Structure 1
Amino acid sequence: MGAKVAVIGAGYVGLTTAACLSSLGHKVVCADVDQEKVDALRRGEATIREPGICELVVDGLASRRLEFVLGASAAAAGADIVILCVPTPMGATGAADLRALESVVTELRELLPPGCVVVNKSTVPVGTAARVAGLIDRADVAVVSNPEFLREGFAVHDFLNPDRIVVGSSDRDPAPARRVAELYGKLDTAVLVTDSASAEMIKYASNCYLATRLSFVNTVAELCEYLDASIDDVTAGMGYDGRIGDAFLRPGPGWGGSCLPKDTFALLRTAESAGSDFALLRAAIETNVKQQELVVGKVRKAVGGDLAGARIGLLGLTFKAGTDDLRDSPALAVARRLAAEGAELSGYDPSVHAPVAGVTDDVRITGTAYHAANGAAAIVLLTEWPEFRDLDWARIADRLGGSSVIDTRNLLDPPTVTRTGLAYQGIGRPDSAGTPLSRTADMVGQVG
Structure 2
Amino acid sequence: MTLNFDDLTAIYPEQIWIELPPEEQEKARQQTQNYSNSASFWNAYMNSIALQNFAAWVKADPDIQDPLKVWPSQEYLPTFWEIVNGTKLTLGDTQFVLIPSDKINVSEFQVPQEWVDIPNWIADYYVAIQIGFENNWMRVYGYTTYQKLKIQGKYDLLNRTYALEQADLVEDLNIMWVARELFSAQKLQVKPLPKLSAAQTEKFLDQLAQFTNCSPRLVLKFEDWAALITNDSIRQQLYQKRLLTESSKCSETSNPVVSNSFTPIKVNDLSLWLQNVFELGWQSLDALFGSEPKTLAYQFRTDSILNEFRVKTAKLIDLGMELKGISVILLVGLALETEQKVGIRVQLHPTDGETYLPPNLKLSWLTDGGVMRQEVQSRNHDNYIQLKRFRLPTGKGFSIQISFRDATIKEDFIFYQAVASDKI
Bucket of the pairwise TM-score, normalised by the shorter protein:
0.3 to 0.5
Q: Scaled by the length of structure 1, what TM-score is found?
A: 0.31
Relative to total residues, which structure has the larger helix share, 1 or 2?
Answer: 1
Q: Scaled by the length of structure 2, what TM-score is found?
A: 0.32
